Amino acid sequence: MHPFQPETSIISFFSSLVVLVGVSEFFYAKQFRSKFYFISVFFLVFAYLLFSVLDQFRISLPFYFVKQPIVSFTNLVLFLSFSFMGSYLVLPKLKTSSQLIYICLIGLGLFPFLFFHFSLGSFTELGVLERGGFVILFLVSGSIAWFQEIFFQPLADEDLEKKIPDSFVSSLFFLSLPFVIPIVSGRITEERFYFLSIDLLLASLSSVLGFLAVSQARKKLSEGFGLSLLPFFAGSALVSASLGVTHLLLIPVSFSAGLFLHLLQLWLRKKNWSDRSSLLVSGQLVAGGIGLFLPYLSLPNQEWLHPPSVMLAVQSLFLLTVFLLSCLVASAVYLLPKEGAEGKNY
């Protein structure tokens, strides 16, 4: 995302804060939220001071816009929000100092590296097809959730897992996701912002229909948590890589994705995965991965940057790179001190 008008910068920044609050309300226990906001604000203030010092020494950063720092922090807050989704299982179990170290690894390590290589570096030169600019958020969140579910399931809080929120306010927040994501990603300045939002909403609603079709076939309505999140995550992730796809293709693909991802979520839950992890992996990691390969269906051959086999390799390399780097950062939890059973850090 590049600098844009001050008015839209402010709208985007506050929209990113809304996303951060929504993540806290939906993914973390009430007892942990005050600490969640503390470590988030502490890191953002620390990052601002750090960037200011670097600016004084005229050290340029590819992800930091000196003239409009609010744009940089909008990107950072949104990236942290999605990373916090994937980290819901372990973050409350870490000591406060460990939480700050973990956030620094994400915000000052993973975020700059991916931003540089995706926006300015090797991925740009390779010609990765990802027109929306925000599928990387879903891939990072889903990858972290996958890693921590696989390797840290014993740390899961059973009481937290039972308290899945299902409120009208929470549903409204995620119903607005197709409009919040383009605003935060800077697409609000483009003439096609309205059409992009409509595409995201259509994809999400089509995914909802597929999701509900599985529920009706099972003669069992799914939990409100999954109903309000998975289809809207899936729709946004699918559309990101294929902006401009015709509705004749978008609607059936999104409907089919809703069917498949709901079945995948149910299968993961049968494998004793937590509700949240099965949601994030199916609705973000898998949906984002599918979205990266939608250009094969949505773009005419003359718009492909490479021959089909080369494009397959480039898209796969991008997906694998984001997945492995996200898992590498998530694995840092092994080295960080955790709270004992007798002293939960809530």
CA distance 206 to 202: 6
The answer to the question of residue 53 being in a domain is yes
The answer to the question of residue 340 being in a domain is no
Q: pLDDT tens track of the chain, all 346 residues?
A: 444 566 677 777 888 888 888 888 888 888 888 899 999 999 988 888 888 887 777 776 666 665 667 777 888 888 899 999 899 888 888 888 899 999 999 988 888 888 776 655 566 677 777 767 778 889 999 999 999 888 876 544 444 444 455 555 565 666 667 777 777 666 666 666 677 777 888 888 888 888 888 877 776 655 555 555 777 788 888 777 666 677 788 888 889 988 898 889 889 988 888 888 888 899 889 988 888 888 777 777 776 777 888 888 888 888 999 999 999 999 988 888 877 644 444 3
Which residues span the domain enclosing 180?
Answer: 6-335
Closest CA to 325 of 133, 106, 131: 106
The answer to the question of residue 203 being in a domain is yes
The answer to the question of residue 343 being in a domain is no
pLDDT digits (tens, 9 = 90+) for 199-239: 888 888 888 888 888 877 776 655 555 555 777 788 888 77
pLDDT value for 227: 53
Q: How far is CA 318 from CA 85, 129, 233, 321, 323, in A?
A: 21, 10, 20, 5, 9
Closest CA to 298 of 344, 257, 246, 232: 246
Q: Report DSSP state, residue 174.
A: H
Residue pair 243/185 in contact (Cβ under 8 Å)? The answer is no
Q: What is the pTM of this model?
A: 0.86
Into how many domains does the chain fold? 1
CATH label of the domain that carries residue 121 = 1.10.3430.10
The answer to the question of residue 199 being in a domain is yes
The answer to the question of residue 170 being in a domain is yes
